[in-house]
Structure 1
Amino acid sequence: MAEIFAGRYVLADPIGRGGAGAVWRAWDRRRRRYVAAKVLHRRDAHTLLRFVREQALRIDHPHVLAPRSWAADDEQVLFTMDLARGGSVERLVGDYGPLPPAYVCVLLDQLLAGLGAVHAEGVVHRDVKPANLLLEATGTGPPHLWLSDFGIAAHRDEPRLTEPDHVVGTPGWIAPEQLLGAEPDVPADLYAAGLVAIHLLTGGRPDAQGLVSAYARGVPPAPRDVPAPLWGVLGPLLHPDPQHRFRTATAVRKALAEAARLLPGTGTYEEPIEVFDQLGPPPPGFTEQGPLPRPFDPEVPYEESAPPSAHGTTPPSASLPHAAPTTTVARPVPPPPAHPPALAPVAPHPEPAAPERRRGGGPPARVAVPVLLLALLCFAVGFWALTQAP
């Protein structure tokens, strides 16, 4: 039986897992749709504080997958987001390898648009990487990217939760100044976006340490599979010194738009890129319209139980478990006893008794009651006459 969380979210099936908990496809009773529910275990105050920060982020932007609601139940807490069905950018590269430069420009522009909205709220994401960039299942149409997972995001004016010598982020996707203990800032997110672009263009994981060494001798040449116009944007973006990078996501988007116009065959791809639906149909017990009705259980509200049976009987109220059914029905009549064929043939199955008649036959109730009252009246009159006789 599916688990119902906080009386609102029906957990269907797990679609992801992390160190702090799991992500489920869940049916939201209030919104009447499937959502992604991130369920965390309340193990310590540190985890709870990160949960509070993440669920408190409310950014309404088409390329930001921020939490929409949250709930707590016993030792677990969850918050929900829109359901991204196309998997992650990391999986897309795993399926297709290096992506066409024009396609990469579209994805990178959407990532920068999402980062611009996040930075406008004074927030630094701090964990920009392909696994945290989710996609809608658009088929062979234009891709739609969401920036997700704000578990370690931080406001620039808030105190840090970690010691200065403790680095937060995913190794290989962290800006060099973060490794040296610098405060979280916008250029660090933009640096990670540049690493993501290299990953999309080459199909391999960028060598962040190699880039740092290469920049010690000046801006290095474009890596293989990276067109020169795009390297004119990514080169400054990946500079180890944040003072040499773009300062805002909007500035990067403007430079990217100019570079995209110089790419040969912009908008055409040798092989169509298709973003499949990675989730598939709902699990058993669920449909695209939500969970199937459950067998009647007096411990749960009536709307969660199965509909009335084929005989028309309505289940008792959940608050009155011993109440009689609200609909009057005919009681089934048991079949007659079997007889040996030599003695008597088997009688046909009798018709069900009418609802007005009592078990075992007899006059209808609307006739028996007046007759009984009349008999009592006659008895009373006769008794009075005997007492008055001389």
Structure 2
Amino acid sequence: MGEIFAGRYELVDPIGRGGVGAVWRAWDHRRRRYVAAKVLLQSDAHSLLRFVREQALRIDHPHVLAPASWAADDDKVLFTMDLVGGGSLAHLIGDYGPLPPRFVAQLLDQLLSGLSAVHAEGVVHRDIKPANILLEATGTRRPHLRLSDFGIAMRKGDPRLTATDLVVGTPGYIAPEQSAYDEPDFPADLFATGLVALYLLEGAKPDAQALTELFRAHGTPHAPRTIPEPLWQVLTGLLQPEPHARFRSATGARKALAEAVLLLPEPGVDDELIEVFDQLGPLPEAFGPDGPIRVPTSSPD
């Protein structure tokens, strides 16, 4: 049996790492279901403060994976989230390479929908990247995306936890104004979202700095050969180097995307079908679909 945390959460097996802690598959004895649990050792005050900020977020939206509950036990704290089994967008690109434009448009619409809810709460995510965008294991059905890992997110107006001359985020998905140490704001999330969409369409991490230099030197470039013009117009509205030149909101970008989708070519009969597999792997021997397997003790004769 696994370690039981705070008398409720039984840690089953490690499934990943977040920004400030290890992520486990855990059995919730009270709600009788599997959850994802992010566990942090209370040894780093700075990480603990970020952890507390993250667990305080309560954003109820189908395309956001925010903390649901938390607990503390001895020298550890954890919070739990829904268990999402289909891996990240990085896994999907690893399996398939560049994705069909209509499939990308579905994912981008869901990401913008979730981001609208996050921004409506006054929260700037600050770390939008393929590894932080998870997928339900939907097989060949319509994909279902969840924006996760709010470890460095902050509400506008909250005090920063890093020095103002430090750049926060993941290299390659940082907006130009973040590199200039500007205060975190929603347009930076939109820029990172555009980079994620470009990554999905091209199957490789885009060079954000080169792209920014290209925009600044020559204006909005023509669409790459592999990206339909209507979809490219949406991406350029996200990728403008100057924050004021981007879409004013995730909702505005989503409206433009809906119009662009109407102009996209229909999928061909020979197009590859994208399947989102379960990436979690089998449960350990001591656990089954309904939780821990208790071996009955034999009664004395």
User: Is TM (by shorter chain) over 0.5?
Assistant: yes
1:268/1:201 Cα in 2 relative to 1: closer, same or farther (>3 Å)? farther
Q: What is the deviation of 1:21? A: 2.3
Is 1:188 matched with 2:188?
yes
Residues 5-154 of structure 1 aligned to structure 2 (within 5 Å): 5-18=5-18, 20-154=20-154
Answer whether contact 1:102 1:268 (CA < 8 A) is retained. no
In 2, Cα distance between the equivalents of 1:74 and 1:66?
Answer: 24
AA at the equivalent of 1:292: I
Cα shift at 1:43: 1.8
Higher relative contact order (CA 8 A, sep 6+): 2
| Distance verdict in 2 for CA 1:5–1:61, change over 3 Å | same
In structure 2, the CA distance between the partners of 1:51 and 1:115, relative to structure 1 (3 Å rule), is same
Partner Cα distance (1:53, 1:185) in 2:
17
Question: Does the residue aligned with 1:209 lie in a helix, a strand or coil?
Answer: helix
The root-mean-square deviation of aligned C-alpha atoms, in Å, is: 1.4
SS of match in other structure, 1:34: strand
Instruction: Say if 1:129 and 1:173, in contact at 8 Å, map to a contact too.
Output: yes
Partners of 2:225 and 2:265 in 1: how far apart? Answer: 16
1:260-271 to structure 2, matched below 5 A, reads 260-265=261-266, 270-271=271-272
Cα 1:127–1:162, aligned 2, differ >3 Å: closer, same or farther?
same
1:225-264 matched pairs, under 5 angstroms: 225-264=226-265
Distance 1:152 1:172 in 2: 16
Secondary structure of residue in 1 paired with 2:213: helix
Amino acid paired to 1:244: A
Native 8 Å contact 1:281 1:288 kept in 2: no
Aligned length: 300
Partners of 1:267 and 1:84 in 2: CA distance: 30
The answer (yes or no) to whether the contact 1:215–1:240 under 8 Å persists in 2 is: yes
> Which deviations, in whole Å up to 9, do the C-alpha atoms of 1:69-100 show, x marking residues without a partner?
11111111110000001000110011000000
| Residue identity (%) | 69
Structure 1, unpaired ranges of 5+: 294-305, 312-331, 333-390
C-alpha distance in structure 2 between counterparts of 1:290 and 1:268, whole Å: 42
In structure 2, list runs of 5 or more residues that go unmatched: none
Cα deviation, 1:43-72, whole Å, max 9, x if unaligned, reads 222111101100000011000000001111
1:24 alignment partner, SS class: strand
Q: What per-residue deviation string (whole Å, max 9, x for no partner) do you get for residues 360-390 of structure 1?
A: xxxxxxxxxxxxxxxxxxxxxxxxxxxxxxx
Deviations 1:270-322 (A, max 9, x none): 011000111122111000100112xxxxxxxxxxxx545345xxxxxxxxxxx
Q: Which has the larger radius of gyration?
A: 1
Counterpart of 1:179 in structure 2 is 179
The structure-2 alpha-carbon separation of the partners of 1:202 and 1:156, relative to structure 1 and needing over 3 Å to count, comes to same
TM-score, normalising length: structure 1 = 0.75
- Equivalent residue number for residue 273 of structure 1: 274
215-224 vs 175-184, which deviates more?
Answer: 215-224
Q: Conserved in 1, the CA contact under 8 Å of 2:18 and 2:38?
A: no
How far is the alpha carbon of 1:269 from its aligned partner? 7.2
Instruction: Pick closer, same or farther for the CA change 1:249–1:269 going to 2, 3 Å.
Output: farther
Moved over 3 A (4+): 266-269
Deviation, structure 1 residue 223: 2.5
TM-score, normalised to structure 2's length?
Answer: 0.96
